[in-house]
Amino acid sequence: MARRFVAARPSKNWKVPAMKVSDTRKLPRRAVDVTVMGLGCAQMGNLYRVTPYEESKGAFEKAWESGMRYFDTAPFYGYTRSERRLGTMVTEHDRGDYTLSTKVGRVMVPDETVGPEEDAYIAPLPFRPIYDYSYDGILRSFEASQQRLGILKPDILYVHDIGSHTHGEKHQHYWEQLTNGGGFNLYEYVPNPIDWVDPWGLARIKNAVEGDRRHKEFNAELLQSNPDANIQSECYLRGADKRSVTDTDTKERRRLDTVVIENGQATAYEVTSMTADKQAQIEKEARIRAKGGTFVKDRTTGDLVPVVGVSKVVRRP
């Protein structure tokens, strides 16, 4: 018997929330705002077809007129063509008016054997991409991007195409380059790392690796001392309606590092380094609690569980 699938009708009171492309969101852990929509610039590199400069310029201008202020590119796109084009366009505007991201992981080497089509890019420029996630490789890639873009400090620097999906059996080799070969240490090169912003980039990933280690060690100790407890990680504070609650000041939610559910209530822990300042996070948590965000959802049952007080800060080397 054939099955019939009937789409559910939306409620008469249901409305699509209003959103403008110029609305912004603040990235976690860094003072960087991005518009809710951005322009990805792979097509500026002739992806799948030739895209004349005038067409790329028109797309950029239309995006700017619509309110978009986030632009993403990479050395790989068009074998450096995208960065060159975007840099020419975006530097016509004041630097503080937009957010820009590019990527590292490939060094673009001059090569006269580059063909009329490479990696789905048509008429790529004569620079061959060579994977290199080492300290020197990432630094070379970053400095070359600075010159192509005409921008000293891109707002976001992504590690491009790291993973087994791209590298297959060579994934471990490149991961070792990045983690043990010094690639993560690019952040130390920056003359003023407090000013230079690197969300979701090299320093962020390095911190995330260390953070994951601390959490795993702490959770293992909790499990050993509380073998019957229900230990869960990364739980959002919720209200009685099961929806996550947003802080009035920062417009952000509060995600608890670790919660221990026992006897119908939860105790929360914030696991961090020996020097990290968590005062703002704890104050945000207190404000969210004052708005009614005093529950977490037990993933094993789906039920709400009340959280006892604000998170206890646990410091680990």
* C-alpha to C-alpha distances, 259 to 8, 15, 204, nearest whole angstrom: 36, 35, 24
Is 77 catalytic? The answer is yes
Is 79 catalytic? The answer is no
Do 75 and 83 touch, CB atoms closer than 8 A?
yes
* 182 token code pair: 């010094």
Do 265 and 259 touch, CB atoms closer than 8 A?
no
Is 251 catalytic? The answer is no
Dist. CA 236–CA 163, nearest whole Å: 29
Helices assigned H by DSSP within 181-291? 202-225, 279-290
Dist. CA 219–CA 238, nearest whole Å: 22
Residue where the block lists tokens 């043990």: 180
Rounded (5°) CA angle 180-186-192: 145
Among 70, 98, 103, 135, the active-site one is 103
Among 70, 72, 98, 198, the active-site one is 72
Closest CA to 286 of 303, 310, 307, 308: 310
Among 70, 77, 79, 121, the active-site one is 77
Residue where the block lists tokens 């207190």: 286
Instruction: Classify residue 279 as exposed, middle or buried by CB count within 10 Å of its CB (0-12, 13-18, 19+).
Output: exposed
Render 260-293 in DSSP notation, one character per residue. Answer: EEETTEEEEEEEE-SS---HHHHHHHHHHHHTT-
Closest CA to 222 of 298, 316, 306, 296: 316
Helices assigned H by DSSP within the chain? 53-66, 81-90, 135-149, 164-167, 171-179, 202-225, 279-290
Q: Residues with catalytic annotation?
A: 72, 77, 103
